[in-house]
Structure 1
Amino acid sequence: MNPVALLTPTYGRDLEICTLLCESVDHHVTSFSRHYLLVPDCDLSLFAPLASERRIIIPASSFLPDWLRPLPRMIQRKRRQFWWSLRAKPVNGWHVQQILKIAATIALPYERFCILDSDIVFFRDFDLARFQYPNTIPLLKMANAVTADQPRHSRWLETSHQLIGLPTPPFPAPDFIGHIIFWDKQTTRALAERIEAATGMDWIEALCRTREFSEYLLYGFFVENDEASALRHSVVPKTQCVSYWDDPTLSKDELTRLLLRANRDDVAFSIASFSGTPVATIREVVAESDAILASSAAARPAELAASC
């Protein structure tokens, strides 16, 4: 059996929350091979303390072509770093992180990968043994979740189909974007080959020129339309992660209530960084989560009995 590897593209501004992710992985996640942090070269020293026997810090340049280079830190917009080339307009760090997920999955020596963004925190044990190769892995698919009134998702839907040479489907369409996402190496390699066949150029160049794309929509729609890839996946309607995508900052009590609403099979939560929820608040709630979840589990039977 070939164990799962963990992938986390990250950067300096996410160091604090990424540190919490790593701590929660070490405490709760088992049966994985390596946890790779993919970081801009200039941030290597910041993340070096997180390295361990099973956690490896890799510079982004290891997976990017020579023609795509980071602009100096002084040239930033909204505190974002950009990469430039003579082949396309500059792309920002968010786009580069998406490219890194694909490139690292193809290049690293494992067959299955679990992709974890920096803002994920595990609060329950999660054993990855059942996702080892050659077992099937989950493919998140939320039916009819992309609608015409979602301008960003609509655009990603269009570009994902253009990049793999398919007609854009009608609305509503499925969504494949979420947390704790699993990818297969053979499928990812085939996806890159399909992009090159459909666009007539190197897949990284095609993504840099497209700019507005979603790596998860690309992967999901490719799997749906490739028979061999579909056999390696089992479609699931949700991931085992409680997600908070809204803007308002969460207080400690609000975050605690969010955890109390977690399903029994949820193992992690993700608080969008743009909410501004302090990492110290998240860390405090995580430290208390065992007691919180235990009290919640004890309360449920009483609630059920009272309702009978």
Structure 2
Amino acid sequence: RRRVWLSFKTKPLRGWHVQQLRRIALASKVEEDGLLYTDSDTAFVKPFDCSTLWQGDKLRLFYRPNALANPEWPEHPVWAENAGKLLGVKNGKSALNDYIGQLVSWRRDSVVGMCERIEKHTGQHWVAAIGNVRRFSECFIYGHYVDDVLEGAGHFHDTHDLCRMQWFAPPPSEEEFRTFIAEMEPYQVAIGMQSFLSLSVNDIRRIIGA
């Protein structure tokens, strides 16, 4: 059973909407310069040092350049368009870029600036503005803000997805799961099995040796 989150300030939201809003809100509650987000259905299977996300004072921004010219996911162009509307950016240079990833790194100061930009442009609190759009992605909003508003300042771009993800059914057998891990790219440090696949958490932990 899935919950619906109701508010007088936004349209009805699902849990995944609220999760995205929490990611954004966290930036105003912590002091760290960089934030790394991942989903609960992600597991690290190789050593990983967060310092590798930085190049000097620039933080990694994952993106797939021009991926929306031939989108694999029909919702992604909608999310990109709505991100531009929230930020007051039309047909920006990032319009065809895809920013969705499982290991997402953001600068805290950039998130705060993004929220201020949304509020200034829409005249609403950023939660209300985003929540009333409803078809949105926090990754697209942040990516468009960095590339179209900040013009990339404080970031370097990286096209290597650090997490190998399986999104669709059927769930893998144990042999297929082990092959999935064995065939990770050298730069990948984590794997993700979409929660809707209904794999046993205990089985996942056993297979990855956690």
> What TM-score do you get using the length of structure 1 for normalisation?
0.63
Q: Which amino acid aligns with 1:94?
A: W
Change (3 A) 1:227 1:207: closer
Matched, 1:223 2:146: yes
The alignment-based identity, stated in percent, is 29
String of CA shifts for 1:224-257, please: whole Å, max 9, x gaps.
Answer: 01337x2211100022211112221111111111
Change (3 A) 1:215 1:272: same
Contact 1:156–1:217 under 8 Å retained in 2: yes
Alignment of 1:36-115 (within 5 A): 79-115=1-37
Mapped partners of 1:170, 1:150: distance in 2? 20
Counterpart among 257, 268, 275 of residue 197 in structure 2 = 275
Mapped partners of 2:58, 2:95: distance in 1? 27
Partner of 1:258: 180
Higher relative contact order at CA 8 Å, sep ≥6: structure 1 or structure 2?
2
Mapped partners of 2:93, 2:114: distance in 1? 22
Give the match's secondary structure for 1:107: coil
Mapped partners of 2:95, 2:135: distance in 1? 20
Aligned pairs, number: 209
Matched, 1:206 2:129: yes
Matched, 1:176 2:104: no
Partner of 2:171: 249
More strand by share: 1
Shift of 1:88: 2.7
Gapped regions of structure 2 (runs ≥ 5): none
Shift of 1:278: 2.4
String of CA shifts for 1:81-105, please: whole Å, max 9, x gaps.
Answer: 2222222322121111100000002
Q: Which amino acid aligns with 1:180?
A: L
Change (3 A) 1:181 1:93: same
Partner of 2:112: 189
Matched, 1:140 2:62: yes
Counterpart among 81, 88, 92 of residue 158 in structure 1 = 81
Mapped partners of 2:127, 2:102: distance in 1? 23
> What TM-score do you get using the length of structure 2 for normalisation?
0.91
Q: Which amino acid aligns with 2:45?
A: F
Give the match's secondary structure for 2:170: coil
Mapped partners of 2:74, 2:16: distance in 1? 18
Gapped regions of structure 1 (runs ≥ 5): 1-78, 289-308
